[in-house]
Amino acid sequence: MMQERDAGDPFLATYAQPAHSEGHGYSDFASPLPGQHPSAFGTDSQLAAAGAGYRDDPRYPPASPNNSDLLLAPGAAAAGAGSYGSGGYNGYPVSSRTSKKRRLIGLGALVALLVIAVAVVVPVYFLVIKKHHSSAAASGASGGASGAGGAANTGGKSGAVVTGGGGSTVLTADGTSFVYNNSFGGYWLADSSNPFLDGAKPNSWTPALNESWNWGTDKIYGVNLGGCWSRVLITPALFQAYPSAPDEWTLAALMRADGSLQKTMEAHYDTFITEQDIAQIAGAGLNWVRVPIPFWAINTWSDVGTDATGATVAEPFLDYGGVEVSVLFLPSGCTIRACCAGLFGSAGRWRAGEIDAGDVLAPTYPCAFQMHGGATYIVRLFGWARKYGLRVNLDLHTAPGSQNGYNHSGKLGEVNFLNGVMGVANAERMLDYIRVIVEFITQPEWANVIPMFGIVNEALLSTIGRPQLTSFYLEAHNMIRGITGVGEGHGPFISIHDGFDGVPNWAGFLPGSDRIILDTHPYFAFDGQKNDAPIATGTDALSAGGIWPKQACTAWGPSINTSRTAFGVTVAGEFSNGYNDCGLYLTGVNGTQSYGGDCSLWLDSSTWNDTVKAGVQQFALASMDATQDWFFWTWKFLAQIGPAADGVVRSPLWSYQLGLEGGWMPTDPRTSVGTCAALGVQAAPFDGTFSAWQTGGAGAGTIDPTAVASFGTWPPITISHVDALATLLPTYTATASIASLTFTTPSPTGSLPAVTPTVSVGSGWFDAQDTASMVTAVAGCTYPDAWSAVSSVVPPVCTGAAAA
C-alpha cells in the first residue's frame, strides 16, 4: 500500500552524477493559398460584433555553426539586428526586450484560480483526482453513451453560444481581454450551457473538431507545449534558483525541503501557458498541440523501495492529485477574494498553492478551489484547445523509474523502466497510468479534442531492448483497445516513439494492430558534431540557410515518407530550428556544447540580421516540408532570472512564438510545401492512402499471429541487464484503489448564481466494465529503490497477483 511520507524520508539524498549523461519563408508553392473561409456563424465582422521545447538530451544526427561574416549586421548587438519579417504578424510586435518584459510581467500577474475560460460568462470546471470505486464506475461511467463532445449543435439556451473570428475580443476568466488575431478564417466557439461544444476551427483548411480528420490528406501543423508540466528546463528561472539541481527529481526535493514546491509549481502551471497562447497558436495557422505531461499528474508514491542504507525512498514530485475538491462557479464580475474571503479562516489563503488538505471547505460558499494541482491546469488547457479548434496529442512524457535516464524523464541517470531488477514493476505502474488517461480521454466529452495519445516518450530502445519494448507496446495496445473498442471512432490513436532507432527499423510493426502512430524526433542538434557550416548565407530561397535546408530534406523526408507505407501514420513529434546545440540548459544544467563556433550569437536573437533570420526560416520550412506532419519543439521559452535577467530568451532557435515575433518563422506553415522539391530533393512519393487497418478500418485489431507469438508474452520472458527470468523479478499486486481523473459539477448554495451545464460532463471513466484495481506494493515485501535498481540484488518473494 502507498503510505504517507515519513518526515525523515530522504528527499535530499546526495545526488550522484552518472558516469555519462545522455541528453540526448519561401517556397516554390505556386498555387494560391486557400482563401478566407467564412465561419458557419457568420462573417468575421459579424463574429467580431457577436464576440464584442531546450532539448536537454543530446542524441541525433548532425548540423553546424557559423563561420560566416554575414551573421551580424554592423552594430547589431546594440541596435537589435535587421528587419527580416520586421512587420510582425497577426498582432505580434517585432521582438524587443522591453516588450518581452511587459509580457512576462503580465503572465506573472495572472490569477492562480484553476478555471476553463470558455467565453464571457461561463461555467468554470475543474479536473480532480480521486479514488475511483468500481461501484461508482458502473453507475457513472460514460461508456459508449452519447455525449456532448461529438455533437454538431449550437447548444444551450438562446444567446448562450459565443463565438468570434479574427478581430473579435476574448474576455478571459480572470477578467482580462485580448483581441483574437486570426487571418485564416478560424473562429473560436464557446457555450455556457455546453462546455463540450466541438464546432471551432483554427483555420479554413482544418476540419472542425466535430468533423473527421482525414489521415494522409489533412496535415498536422503542430507545436509542443513543453515546459509546463514536463521539461521545466524550458523555464530556466526554476532551475537557476537551485543551481545544484540537474533534473526535476532533485529540483522537487530541494523545493520540498524549503517549503516552496507547491506554491512555486502551481504558479508556474498557472502562468506559463495561458489562453492567449492557445489563441496565438491557432492564429499562427497551426492546428494541433502536443501536450507533454508526467505520470505524477495521476499520483506519486511515498515508498518506491529502500536505498543502499535501508532508508525509504519517496518520489518528491508535486502530486497533482491528493485531495478531492468541490467544484462550484463564480458569477461574472465576482473576484475570488470578494466572493471567498474568509472561506478558509484566513483572508489571504485563497491563492493557488496556499491551500492544503488541512483547510476545510465551508459548504455555504460557492467558490472553487484545487488543492494539489497540475491536473486541473492540464484540463483547463484542453478546454482552451477545444475553444479554438486545436486537436491535442497528449504525450505521457515520464515513466516510473525513468524510461531513458534523461533529465526530462524525471530523474537523470539510470533506466529502470523495463530494465533491471525493478523493470517489470515500473512497467506495471506505467500501464496503470496509461489506463487512467485512456479512460478519461475516450469519454465522448473529450474524444474529439484528444485524438492522439503518446503512451511513453522516448523510451531508450538500445538499453531496454526491442523484444521487451515491443512486448510492452503490444500489452498496452491490447489494454487500450479493451477499453475503447476497436476501429475508427473508438478511442485515440496510440503513438509510440521510435526509440532513437530510426523509422526504417519499425517497418511492418504489429501488422493488423489498431491505429498505432510512429513518432520520430528528428534533430541535428544532438548528434555530437560541430555543426559549424554557416546558415547565414543569403536571403533568397535557394541561397538562404547554407547546407541545412537541403540536409533536412535529405535526412528526414525520404525515410519518413517511406514509413507511411511501411509502418503507417508517421509524425515528427518534435523538431526545432536547432541545427546546433547552443541554448541555455539545452544539453543539461551543467552541459557542454559540441558546436564548433561561438554560441553567444545563438543565445540572443536581438543580434541577428536579415541573413541569419532568412537562413533559420529556410531551415524551418525545409524541416516542415520534409516531415509533413509535425510538432515544433516548442511554443515558448521564458527568459532567465538573476543578475543577467535582461528579458532575453537564451534558446531562440527553439521557440516558435519568438520566431514569429522576430520574423524567422513562417507566418503561414503551408508555405513550406514544395521547399524540398525546390532544393532538388524528391522524396519517395506517398499517395496519401494508408492501409485500412492502419487508420481503424477493415482488419484493425486482428494482429498477425506471428507477431503475437513473438511478442505476446507479458511480462516478457527476459529483462535486460538482470541475470534472472522476468518471472522471478519483483512485481506489484493489483489491490489499490483506482485514481481516476474526474470532472465534478457544482452544488451551488447561498445567493451567488451558478450556470449549470445542460449536458453530461462525464464520470472520468469511459468503460464501466473496467473495474480492476491499480497496482501497489506487496505487503511485507522489501523492494530496492525503483529508480536505482539496475545493479541491485533480486530480492526474494516480491511478486504479486496480476490485475484481473
Q: Residue 375 in 3-state DSSP?
A: helix
Q: Determine whether 668 is exposed, middle or buried from the number of CB atoms within 10 Å of its CB (0-12, 13-18, 19+).
A: middle
Rounded to the nearest 5°, which phi and psi values hold at 241? -75, -15
Q: Residue 223, SS3?
A: strand
Contact residues for 31 (Cβ-Cβ < 8 A; gap 6+): none
Cα torsion through 480, 484, 486, 492, rounded to 10: -80
Nearest to 70 by CA among 50, 84, 55: 84
Pair 695, 488: CB distance under 8 Å: yes
Angle at 800 between CA 794 and CA 804, to 5 degrees: 145
Helix (H, G, I), strand (E, B) or coil at 517: strand
pLDDT in tens, 764-804: 899 999 999 999 999 989 999 999 999 999 998 777 654 44
Residue type, 645: A
Average pLDDT estimate for 517-535: 97
pLDDT at 392: 98
**Predicted local distance difference test score (pLDDT) of residue 76:** 34
Alpha carbon of residue 730 to chain centroid: 31
Mean pLDDT score of the chain, rounded to an integer?
A: 77
Mean pLDDT of 705-734: 95
Average pLDDT over every residue of 368-386: 72
Residues 6+ apart with CB under 8 A from 358: none
Q: Is the pLDDT of residue 521 over 70?
A: yes
Q: What is the Cα–Cα distance from 741 to 40, expressed in whole angstroms?
A: 34
Q: Would you place residue 683 in the very low, low, confident or very high pLDDT band (cuts 50, 70, 90)? A: confident
pLDDT, mean of residues 615-630: 98
Q: Which of 195, 190, 217 is nearest to 206 (CA)?
A: 217
Residue 657 is classified by DSSP as: H
pLDDT computed for residue 796 by the predictor: 84
Provide the pLDDT for residue 471.
Answer: 98
Q: Fold for 44-323+372-776, please state it.
A: TIM Barrel (3.20.20)
pTM of this structure: 0.78
Q: What pLDDT does 801 receive? A: 58
**Which amino acid is it at 793?**
V
End-to-end CA distance of the chain: 18
Least confident window among 130-139, 276-285, 388-397: 130-139
Of residues 373, 326, 344, 295, the one with CA closest to residue 774: 295
Per-residue pLDDT reduced to its tens digit, 107-159: 333 223 223 333 332 333 334 444 443 333 333 333 332 233 333 333 333 33
The interaxial angle of helices 374-388 and 261-271, nearest 10 deg, is: 0
Q: What is the pLDDT of residues 713-724, one digit of tens each?
A: 999 999 999 999
Residue 766 is given by DSSP the state S
Give me 301's grid cell: 508514491
Burial (CB count <10 Å: 0-12, 13-18, 19+), residue 260: middle
Are 720 and 416 in contact by the 8 Å Cβ rule? The answer is no
**Assigned C-alpha cell, 383:** 478546454
**Angle at CA 752, nearest 5°, toward 749 and 758?**
75
**pLDDT tens string 536-578:** 999 999 999 999 999 999 999 999 999 999 999 999 999 999 9
The β-bridge relationship of strands 570-575 and 188-191 is unpaired
Is the pLDDT at 692 greater than 90, yes or no?
Answer: yes
Q: What phi-psi label fits residue 628: left (phi over 0), alpha (psi between -120 and 50 degrees) or beta?
A: left
pLDDT at 418: 98
Give per-residue pLDDT as tens, 457-468: 999 999 999 999
pLDDT at 379: 86
One-letter amino acid at 199 equals G
Give strand pairing partners of 190. 162
DSSP codes, 131-154: EE-HHHHHHH--TT---STT--S-
pLDDT at 232: 61
